[in-house]
Amino acid sequence: MNLKIYTPKVMLVAGIILFAAIMRLIPHYPNFTPIAAIALFGGAHLGKKWLSFLIPIVALFISDLILGFHGFMIPVYASFIVVVLFGNYLRNNIKVHTVGVASIAASTLFFIITNFAVWIATPYYPANFSGLVACYAAAIPFFHTGILGDLFYSTVFFGGFYLVQQYVTVFKTKEI
165-174: per-residue pLDDT in tens? 888 887 766 5
42-59: per-residue pLDDT in tens? 999 887 888 889 888 888
Amino acid letter for position 105:
A
> Exposed (0-12), middle (13-18) or buried (19+): which is 131, by Cβ within 10 Å?
middle
58-114: per-residue pLDDT in tens? 888 888 898 888 889 999 999 999 999 999 999 889 999 999 999 999 999 999 999
In whole angstroms, what separates CA 162 from the centre of its chain? 18
Segment among 31-40, 102-111, 128-137, 153-162 with least mean pLDDT: 31-40
Locate the domains of the chain by residue range. Answer: 8-24+31-171
3-class secondary-structure state, position 113: helix
